[in-house]
Every structure is written in C-alpha cells, then in structure tokens.
Amino acid sequence: MIKRILAAVDGSPASLAALRQAAAWAAQLDARLSALYVIDEQRFVYYPAATSFEGGVVLAVPLPDDKRAEVEAKVKEEERQIRADFDRVAGARKGQAEFRAERGDVNNILVREARASDLVVLGKRGRFDSPASRQAGPTTETLIHEALRPVLVVPEASRTEGGILIAYDNSKGVQRILPTALHMAGKSRSGVALLTVDDKPERAQELQAPMRPYLQAHGIEAKFMIEKGKPAEAIVKAAQAANAGLIVMGAFNRNPVYELFFGSTTLSVLERATCPILLTA
C-alpha cells in the first residue's frame, strides 16, 4: 500500500526529526524514500513600496546582485547541510532513497509531489516559522488540506517509540486514514488502541462496534477506549498515558462555523501532542 514516502526537508530541527521518521517507516514498509528540499523563490525578491500599483498592490522585485549572491551562497550551504543529514540518516538504503532540491513555490511543489506519493512526512514547523509558537506551520496546514494523501506531522522533540492511538469519531477523514494506519501497524507490529471521545458512552460504543470485526479482519487486536470531555484534550491525554508513539486521526472534519467558535480539534492536537500525528482531510 505504501510504496513511496515523501519527506519534506528544510534543515530545521523538526525537519530532521521528520526525516528520521520517514527513513524508519520506509525501512519497515519497504518503501522508496524521496527527500525534497524546496528552495523558496520568495527568498530572491523583495517588495519595495515604490513599485506599488494603484490600489496598493505591491510588485516583487529581484534582489540586487550583491544581495542575491549572499542568498545564493546561504542556500547552497543549507542544501549541503541538508544533504549531509540525508546521507547520514538514509544513506544505508542505497537504491531505495533519493535526495533532491528544487526552486519555486514551496506549497505548490510539495502538494504536487505529495500527490505522487503514498505518504508525506514533514516537521510541524519549518526553518522560517516562529520558534516561539507551538502551532503547526502554514506549509504543514496546506499539505494536510491539499495533499489528498496521508500526512505524518512530526514535532521537533517527539516520542516516536510506542503503540498507535487511533482517535475514532466515524468521520470521513478517519475512515480514509484507517487503511494506511492499519498497514503501518501491521508492518511495525505496534500495539493499537482505538479511542472515541463522547460524553455519551452508549453512543461511543455504537460508533466503535463496526471497528471490532474490521480490525480483527486485519489481524489487529486493539484496545477500545471511551473518554468524555473536549476531544483534543482527551486525545493528547490518552496518548501520553499510553506512551503512544503515533496518533492517527481525521483532519478538519467539523463545520467551519463550529471551528470558528469552538476551535479546531486538529490544530489543538497538533499544538499539544508530543508524538507524531498521522492525518488526512
């Protein structure tokens, strides 16, 4: 099921953690690993106010030659360091791993490459995202929304050893991610727990009932759990209590109006979790 894993790398600490995860899963799943460093084209332009159109639209202007040379040298050194990280982490998988760099629009290129892959792995925050924030970076959010593939988001300092916690709410997102999650669980022989957060236990049991024969058919002996309270808090707490090395969940399943007033479960779990999160929208 998983034949090609795309690791989006940029030299950030979270990116290096994601590369390690991608390489580990590629080895366990016998998949090809493709690490891609996208050099943001916006680093080579600037936006002086003097070039504004009427109405306040600002035009991008190429950097002066001396400034461009500085950026080119910096990018070259970044690529050298990222390639060295790749060789150290994935060098043993000769013929099954590749590294390449491409210049352009970061989000567009990563979405394009994601759709040519079975699994996307990237850090929670990139090189140029604020280090003070715990939220997922904008590129990470874009890939979750647009990749149309499972996305594994890896925090900088994360627990990666342990079982798999599936946050099950019967949404379309979690239904889409289940086959991938069970394939990964089977290959890695990780223990599986299935958690439903609902203030009405009877309703939660009804939701979980079809999952029992489904998981058994896949050879998965899972622990079934029901918790009350706010979904994000319950998911993160359960993952920590179980020492889970991976959380699996659907992404952005609720009505946008609900998320506006009550917050997004997906973003909250991404902010708080201390282990990688596997998602699909």
Q: What are phi and psi for residue 194, nearest 5 degrees?
A: -115, 120
User: Are 4-41+69-154 and 164-280 the same fold in CATH?
Assistant: yes
Percent with pLDDT over 70 in the chain: 93
Report pTM: 0.92
In angstroms, how far is the first alpha carbon of the chain from the final one?
Answer: 19
Six-digit token string for 97: 């791993």
Distances (CA, A) of 130 to 12, 39, 81, 136, 158: 12, 18, 21, 10, 18
pLDDT at 45: 94
Cβ neighbors of 32 (< 8 A, separation 6 or more) are: 3, 4, 5, 26, 96, 97, 98
Q: Delimit the domains of the chain by residue range.
A: 4-41+69-154, 164-280
Residue-wise pLDDT for 47-105, tens only, equals 886 555 555 667 889 999 999 999 999 999 999 999 999 999 998 787 899 999 999 99
Residue-wise pLDDT for 234-271, tens only, equals 999 999 999 999 999 999 765 554 444 345 899 999 99
Which CATH code is given to the segment(s) 4-41+69-154? Answer: 3.40.50.620
CB-based contact 103:41 (threshold 8 Å): yes
CATH topology of domain 164-280: Rossmann fold (3.40.50)
